[in-house]
Structure 1
Amino acid sequence: MTLLKPKYKSESRYGKWWYAPHHRLKRLISRAVYHLSYCLLRPKHRQPKIPVADIKRILLIRYDVLGDMAVTMPLISAFHTANPAIKIDVIASTRNRLLIDGDRRVHKVILFQENPAFWFKVWSLRQNNYDLIFSFIDRKPIRQALIGHLAGNRHTLRVSIMRPLKYRAFFDKTIRLIGQSFQHVARRYLHLANEVVEFSKNILDTPIRLDYSPSTVVEAFLEKNTLNHREFLVVNISAGREATKWTTQNFVDLIVAVRRRTAYPIVVICTQADAADAAKIHEAINDSRVVIFPPTKNIFEIVELLSRSLMLITPDTGVVHLASAAQTPVVALYTNIQSGKTAEWTPYQVPHRLVIAPEDALVADIPARVVFDAVASLLDELRALQPPVTSSA
């Protein structure tokens, strides 16, 4: 097993003679920045909850990746269900706008761009008179605060996830949730909304729902390969980060084990960049019941395929959350390297198994047999959940 070096060595900066005064100086500077920005911006920290019926328009700042947009969908659903008249605008990126383009719950999608034209567009949003602006992205809080102040008016409430002290005065509400590192991020966003908006019903169990039409491409693919509803498994071989990639040989070993011991057909999915690896896996296995779904840029074709499958097996990537939207059980592979708390990004409200690499190890270091054990365990649970077949007299 390949292990990375520990993040902190014994001779780390914490033992240096200069660390304590240096740390105190940073805290003093943070407090000074906070108090100065507080005096200039006068954030509405003590604003009472707003009744959801009084909200007319909100703006969500969500210009990051696909998975982050997916876990924000419960919040969009909660607002739309509580008050269908609310107009919800979203600042999205080219990578995640595919998930909300055409969504009837979203009034307008503004594409984030790093050029002056974007900032003029943000300034023009002031005429929308937003009641709430939500900032969900961890990185670059100053940029998000600037968007909030340019797009909002005096009555707008700017709400953010918890920030370091020096950034908190840039937002009207920065909300810390008890045990937030151990909550799923979708539920955390719902808690955040619940802290500033008065809903008439509980919203904390709102699922991930996507607004799309069934795909004829998927229907034709399943018919061509004689794949029945909920009687095949999907294996995703693509991952967004090097730390979460699993090896081609591991995928081969896993699929062979699944086919030998369960006989379930397998559908392999991947991005266009990993199409060659998918072909190698298919050639190495040489099994007619292992097929490749053609790489596609249509996210909803993947969602439709997952909704027809029995289970998804995948490294940690945005497809995990698409499976949650499709209500499909998941076996997911995780590493703690270059990522936040695993509990924040697990499958949401679906049966699942997590296979986590040892500390400081990559997903590639997880053996195929360990993943197969997780697959077998989840299959046993799914069989137990199936209603018993009753024979008619």
Structure 2
Amino acid sequence: MKILLCVPEYPPHHVGGGGPVFHALAQEYTKLGHEVMVIYGYYPTKHGFESLKQYTEYGIQFVQVPLLPTPRFTSFLKTVLPTGPWNLSKLRNIIRDFQPEKAHLHGYGLMFINQLAKIIVDQKIPYIYTLHGAPVSADKKGGIIQKVYNLYKHTWGKFILDHASDITAVSQYTIDNFSEFHPYKDRIRIVPNGIYPEEFAKQIDYNIYDQYNVPEGSTIYLSIGRIERRKGHDKFIKMIPSLVESGVDVRYFIAGQDNGYKQVLDSLSQELGVSERIYYLGFVSGDDKLSMLQHADYVIFPSEKETFGLVTLEAMASGTTPIINNIGGFVDIVQDGKNGIIVNFSRVEEYRGLIGKNINKDVMRGTVQYYNWKKIAINYLG
């Protein structure tokens, strides 16, 4: 079968966890014997008039489409903006020539994906539409941005949902907590994101934390993800003084790109007198990431909002206990006390009661087998 995968971004240029998800799906569809074309948005453009780029890698056809450039101070729009109208006729021809039997679209609230949906509907191609959540910036920004998004929900947002032959969501939280999707609840089925468990079973023979001169006997807490307010790093930092009073030598490592919030965390940690206990690693990947996961005592997720939480699975596959906030898509994955720990990160006393608690590694590694990418890809195609 010919499958057209339409996504807002693709590695190496991606702002969040979507890039690896789209990469894995393209690979798995190909391994299943399908012919795959990936059309993806390219946001690092200078003027938006760059040409489409077509190429083939690992048996997969790619079309890189430049999006309109993001205005200054609006980085949250990186994957939201459309491509220029001058590219649409080329895309129509590319899709028509490929003759896909099925399309798979990702991303709600993203104009480029809606542009592709219109072409796909016009060419009468059935498509799966996967929901990873909905934009949260509109409500935060308010004003004209919120008005534009409200208009989107009742026009383009409704169009792409109405015409989908199959709608999926990555978690129950995604369905329940975004009112945009409530009218479609009866049509939505859950297909979670996945990982390759075998990649995290590889044992790394060095401990990345050694280079930071971590005192012997310290307890290492790790967070992986962009440094921004909704990730909740501040919640755990506020807990550190209480944990130290309880006799825990806390060392908190934060791995991820700074989206402008590190300065806030620096001020908070200085105010609480815990700056020397916090380490910023920047973006980490490959064996260094595996070493971080395998040699941490806990991987923590104090996020305020998370529709899935892929790193939770990565922690389990690495044999390291995840501690999650009692919110979002995390709770679709974690069973408290069985394959992870669920706490309310706003309650210090609740967290202190968990000191020294760990979860059986075999149970955690057993959980992630359900989230193997091959199974996920087969599930998408029904």
Letter matched to residue 323 of structure 2: V
Cα offset, 1:320, TM superposition:
3.8
Q: How does 1:360-379 map to 2 (within 5 A)?
A: 366-374=346-354, 376=356, 379=357
Distance 1:210 1:67, change over 3 A: farther
1:67 to 14, 17, 33: 17
Letter matched to residue 87 of structure 1: V
Aligned to 1:31: none
Cα offset, 1:133, TM superposition:
1.7
Q: How does 1:28-39 map to 2 (within 5 A)?
A: none
Cα offset, 1:310, TM superposition:
3.8
1:56–1:86 CA contact under 8 A, matched in 2: yes
Identity %: 7
Aligned to 2:29: 79
Aligned to 1:15: none
Relative to the length of structure 2, the TM-score reads 0.52
Alpha-carbon distance in 1 for matches of 2:341, 2:113? 35
Distance 1:169 1:176, change over 3 A: closer
1:182–1:344 CA contact under 8 A, matched in 2: no
Letter matched to residue 358 of structure 2: D
Could you say what the CA RMSD is over the residues aligned between the two structures, in angstroms? 5.4
Alpha-carbon distance in 1 for matches of 2:21, 2:115? 24
Letter matched to residue 113 of structure 2: Q
Higher relative contact order (CA 8 A, sep 6+): 1
2:116 to 143, 147, 152: 147
1:225 to 182, 188, 212: 212
2:281 to 291, 294, 308: 294
* Deviations 1:116-171 (CA, angstroms, capped at 9, x unpaired): 1553553353233333222232326x863431343688463222258989536863
Alpha-carbon distance in 1 for matches of 2:160, 2:298? 42
Distance 1:240 1:88, change over 3 A: farther
Distance 1:61 1:325, change over 3 A: same
1:322 to 295, 311, 318: 311
Relative to the length of structure 1, the TM-score reads 0.51
Cα offset, 1:250, TM superposition:
0.9
Alpha-carbon distance in 2 for matches of 1:80, 1:157? 19
SS of corresponding position for 1:87: strand
Which structure has the highest strand share of the two?
2
* Deviations 1:34-86 (CA, angstroms, capped at 9, x unpaired): xxxxxxxxxxxxxxxxxxxxx13421334595134455566446424423x53
1:113 to 39, 57, 67: 67
Cα offset, 1:369, TM superposition:
2.9
1:134–1:158 CA contact under 8 A, matched in 2: yes
* Deviations 1:229-286 (CA, angstroms, capped at 9, x unpaired): xx8431469654459463575143365268x24x575434454334443586389237
Distance 1:380 1:220, change over 3 A: closer
Cα offset, 1:173, TM superposition:
0.4
1:131 to 63, 77, 101: 101
Distance 1:110 1:353, change over 3 A: farther
Aligned to 1:313: 300
Gaps of 5+ in 2: 45-55, 69-82, 132-152, 178-186, 365-382
Alpha-carbon distance in 1 for matches of 2:352, 2:268? 20
Alpha-carbon distance in 1 for matches of 2:245, 2:39? 44
Alpha-carbon distance in 1 for matches of 2:331, 2:89? 34
Higher Cα Rg, which structure: 1
Distance 1:250 1:291, change over 3 A: closer
2:3–2:103 CA contact under 8 A, matched in 1: no
Aligned to 2:183: none
Aligned to 1:35: none
SS of corresponding position for 2:107: coil
Gaps of 5+ in 1: 1-54, 96-101, 186-194, 196-202, 336-341, 357-362, 387-393
Aligned to 2:339: 351
Distance 1:355 1:159, change over 3 A: same
Aligned to 1:267: 253
Alpha-carbon distance in 2 for matches of 1:331, 1:252? 15
Alpha-carbon distance in 2 for matches of 1:175, 1:320? 20
* Deviations 1:189-234 (CA, angstroms, capped at 9, x unpaired): xxxxxx9xxxxxxx97883239999xxxx96843423679xx8431
Tell whether 2:290 aligns with 1:304: yes
Aligned to 1:333: 325
Alpha-carbon distance in 1 for matches of 2:64, 2:195? 22
Count of residues in correspondence between the two structures: 284
SS of corresponding position for 1:294: strand
Cα offset, 1:89, TM superposition:
1.0
Task: Select between 151-160 and 306-315 the one with higher mean Cα deviation.
Answer: 151-160
2:7–2:106 CA contact under 8 A, matched in 1: yes
Letter matched to residue 59 of structure 1: L
Cα offset, 1:331, TM superposition:
1.6
